[in-house]
Structure 1
Amino acid sequence: MNHEVDEVLLRGLTPAVLGILVRRGADFVSAEDAVQDAAVEAWRVWPDDPPRDPKAWLVTVAWRRFLDASRSETARRRREERVEEAPSPGPAHELDDTLQLYFLCAHPSLTPSSAVALTLRAVGGLTTRQVAQAYLVPEATMAQRISRAKRTVAGVRLDEPGDVATVLRVLYLVFNEGYSGDVDLAVEAIRLTRQLAAMVQHPEVSGLLALMLLHHARRTARTAPDGSLVPLAAQDRSRWDTAAIAEGVTILQAALARDRLGEFQAQAAIAALHADALAAEETDWVQVVEWYDELVRLTDNPVVRLNRAVAVGEADGPRAGLAALAGVGTEVPRHTAVAAYLHERDGDLALAARLYADAAHRAHDLAERDHLTRQAARLNEKHGHTAPFPRSARGGPP
């Protein structure tokens, strides 16, 4: 009988198998090549002869491929001495090596951007194109960056971990990719962050876990049945996961009590304030602005300043929000959409409609583009005018 290969299973096992090979002594580059070869072999063999233990099968095949490649290199003797010192191949350990692999990819010899890119590719399982989209750079540029990063960690052992802060940024990017990209990695990012929190007593690790839980709690309410985006203010809050919110708040409170504030704790505090409001109009926007002030102090990130402008507009009125927005560069993603929202609240519907249409033209995500196009159409209908819609927005998803 011919069976189909479980692509989700194969993809999920790949990072763990890669981690096992590196822990046994394989250098990162060779191990990744061997695991890729094993995956290709799995596509060929498994339909007719599915293994009882897919992970052990992949480990065995990948390890053999690594040994074969090692023996064919000019440095055969040096590599084989290292291999002989490593544990002999056997049944796959139940220990999850994926988290250890994150630390390897966050090695101090890598720049933070290269570490994030390499982890998303090697551990997160994202394609180079997806990683490039996360960085907003051309795919060719990202391919070169990942190749350089792989060469840098060639020969590095798993007993040389990287920086926790870099690992946290990796996990956060993977979590966000789980919402917006082709691959659902949000649950996996939460699982790995839980493991990291159990291993590392660090308030920012707890802050990131709390932030993920608070955002994930709203996930089912973020989209309508037709797939269109539902803004936070319009979400059905009865669909929010109250258990995840309660857990996130508890974790955050314990982290804040340690009095070592970091950016993930501040972001989680903002998310907790949104979660605490039974209705959008009950949101404590004054406190939200105060937490954004803390974030600006910690990061001075232009995206943070953009989001702060929205909060200021809610707390002190749209003109105050527009004044805050004036200090944010127009090149920052979603700047035009925020300007449209604030101008709409200020009563300038014609300008807001034009800005929504322009923002739709700039949007890369189809769901966001469709949402912005709908906003422009709504205001044009209300105002009695028609703004030129971007050609790319016509015929978008309903």
Structure 2
Amino acid sequence: MIPLKFVLVDLRRHWVGSLVIILLIAGATALGVAVNLQERALRLGSARAAERFDLVVGAAGSETQLVLSSVFLQPSPLTLLPGSALAKLADDPRVAMAAPVGFGDSFNGLPVVGTIAAFVTDDGRVGLSEGRVFETVAEAVIGAKVDLALGDEVKPLHGTAGEGGHTHTELKYQVVGRMGETGTPWDRAILVPIEGVWRIHHMGDGHDADEHGHAAHDRTGEASEAERGPAEMMERIGPPWTNPQGVPAIIVKARTIADAYRLRNEYRRDQTLGVFPAEVLTRLFSTLGDVRTVLAAIAFATQGLVAAAVILVSVVHLAQRRRQLAVLRALGAPRAALFGLVWFEILALVVSGVAIGVVLGWGGAKIFASWVSDASGIVSPVVLTWEDGRLALGLLAVAAIIAVVPAMMAYRQPTAIALRS
């Protein structure tokens, strides 16, 4: 057999052609690997972002837009649900938590979202990385990646500065807590009491006063309303509300799975829309899968063209080496050795190209995932799996078969004719 050192010397001698073949194979492989990795990363990142959202209730309209706005915090004007819907859900025995989400304001480009304290801690399931949850209408909790510190002040901006937006002067928030990192758009959100959002938009605060000037319901039960001062009563937040205002969406956690389905069906009538974010994402993933199929077909076609190019280059290269191979044959090298030389050289080029392509595809997917994370806040994990390994092994198997063509040509080449050429 031909020694490995001879193969390496031969490849080094024709390094320009070898490099071109390696780059062609690497580019085709990188495209296929990047498509698979990024599609999988988007699925995992989106699914993780929707884990906390069992059921979302909004006004009748687009299911996709409701999920994109409430779960992924994509800015879009939504029709407000009447406050009566919030009150009804909050009092429903099938509901463990009904958290309103009110958005539309921002601070330094970050969304300011009105909600309740229970939503910040996922109804007590999640702790904060520092500080505490808001307890008054003028306090805020920030996401893990918000570049603010405890004690900083937040003055929300209505709309955007470029579109005539204005800073609210009715209320400013003080940061009192920071959430743990979740890898979702909520890491870049500023959460405030929903009463603050209502108040700065001149909608009241959901807590009407009785004839004595005190709130009509006692949330804590620790002291009567008559025992509290007017300033303290103004800071009251959270349910129960006596006069809740409209909200773009309500995040609902049902007590049982059966309750969740009943609530979803109940709020898919008249002027309301109840959706499971997971179902909406499944439909989006289906569309994404169609795109992936198209890209995979393009990658497959590219790999086919590269395979044809490899055969063409190999045949041309073989024609230029006919005399060299004939000399080896005349010196006593068996035909099987010539077959192995050509076959192994081509396979070595393919292995190098596939290995480089996998690295390039992984790197490209990481860069794209980082861009997606910067743009949307969704952390998409890019991980190589056995599926990607099978893709690489499949390419090598095809290459091993393709390499037989020029290797067989070398095997069957007549020595005498080659030496006279």
TM bucket (normalised to shorter chain) is under 0.3
Bigger Rg, structure 1 or 2: 2
The structure in which a higher percent of residues are strand is 2
TM-score by length of 1: 0.21
Normalising by the residue count of structure 2, what TM-score does the alignment of the two structures yield?
0.20
Tell me which of the two structures has the higher relative contact order, counting C-alpha pairs closer than 8 angstroms and 6 or more residues apart: 2
